[in-house]
């Protein structure tokens, strides 16, 4: 059994760590509320753009824009992997990295290009010699729409130039505070939800100046907005995961403090009993 001094120091250390985890939980909760509000405000606009494109794309020639072009053969893929810069968020980063790495390895490491968003994905894939063409780090605290525009341009340029034939995005979608779901979605070429062309019913709306012009104008906005939504979803998910992880850590620290306190009390009682026996034994010896 550890002595009283060691147990006292352990209890003190655990209490200090518990203060840190509680503070981190409060900070993450405050950030999560704001991030969740921004994410939920952006969702209706993103969904509406998606619905409009689902209606328009089947009615236009896909050759009018390279972003709509379905390549017959997928020789090269671009994977956009969105993680955080910091850890201590449970399985938030490891889940994204695991699914992304499996998708890349299944397609072929030598045929895959990566854009890594967040230090965790950058460090993981750089150490394993994957082909990273662009890194984005140290921007989450100042996240704004300009970041989405820059990333969207980088992604689009790779596809339009023919460097890649398809773009996949792996990120965390915010479901609830206690649940975040990792998604691997196709970003380019843009497709529509209805896969059965026979079931599609053309609309009788009149477009000015034309459907083609409307699509050409909407697609760049849609791509930037979609990247923005991915970033907002990931940031809100990160804060929710960190808040939950710190709450669990604080709870575990409380349990450790109780166990260590019980050990401390037992050790102290044992020491007191030993001292009393020594005193009584000494008194008996004098008599």
Residue 58 lies in a domain: yes
Torsion, Cα 23 24 26 29, to 10 degrees, reads 180
Ranges of H-type helices in 135-181: 145-160
State pLDDT tens for residues 49-87: 988 888 888 888 888 888 888 888 999 999 999 999 998
Q: Of 47-61, 107-121, 218-232, which gets the smallest average pLDDT?
A: 47-61
Residue 263 lies in a domain: no
The boundaries of the domain holding residue 153 are 43-194+207-245
Residue 6 lies in a domain: no
Per DSSP (E only), the strands in the chain are: 77-82, 112-117, 132-136, 166-176, 179-188
Residue 231 lies in a domain: yes
Residue 140 lies in a domain: yes
How does the average pLDDT of the chain come out, rounded?
90
State pLDDT tens for residues 26-37: 999 999 999 999
- CATH number, domain with residue 88: 3.40.1380.10
- Quote the tokens at residue 264: 């401390």
Q: Of 38-42, 80-84, 206-210, which gets the smallest average pLDDT?
A: 206-210
Number of domains in the chain: 1
């Amino acid at each position: 059994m550890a002595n009283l001094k060691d147990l006292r120091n352990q209890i003190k250390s655990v209490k200090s760590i518990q203060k840190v985890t509680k503070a981190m939980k409060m900070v993450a909760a405050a950030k999560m509320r704001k991030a969740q509000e921004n994410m939920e405000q952006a969702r209706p606009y993103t969904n509406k753009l998606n619905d409009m494109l689902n209606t328009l794309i089947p009615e236009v020639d896909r050759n009018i824009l390279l972003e709509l072009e379905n390549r017959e053969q997928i020789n090269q893929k671009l994977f956009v992997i969105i993680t955080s810069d910091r850890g201590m968020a449970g399985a938030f980063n490891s889940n994204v990295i695991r699914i992304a790495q499996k998708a890349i390895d299944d397609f072929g490491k030598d045929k895959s290009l990566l854009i890594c968003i967040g230090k965790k994905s950058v460090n993981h894939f750089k150490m394993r010699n994957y082909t990273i063409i662009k890194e984005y780090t140290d921007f989450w605290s100042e996240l704004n729409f300009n970041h989405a525009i820059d990333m969207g341009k980088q992604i689009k340029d790779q596809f339009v130039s023919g460097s890649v034939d398809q773009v996949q995005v792996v990120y965390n979608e915010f479901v609830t505070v206690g649940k975040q779901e990792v998604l691997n979605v196709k970003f380019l070429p843009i497709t529509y939800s209805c896969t059965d062309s026979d079931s599609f019913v053309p609309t009788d709306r009149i477009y000015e100046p034309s459907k083609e012009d409307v699509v050409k104008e909407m697609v760049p906005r849609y791509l930037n907005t979609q990247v923005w939504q991915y970033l907002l979803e990931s940031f809100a998910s990160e804060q929710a995961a960190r808040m939950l992880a710190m709450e669990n850590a604080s709870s575990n620290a409380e349990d450790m403090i109780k166990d260590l306190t019980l050990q401390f009390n037992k050790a102290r009682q044992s020491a007191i009993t030993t001292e009393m026996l020594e005193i009584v034994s000494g008194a008996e010896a004098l008599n």
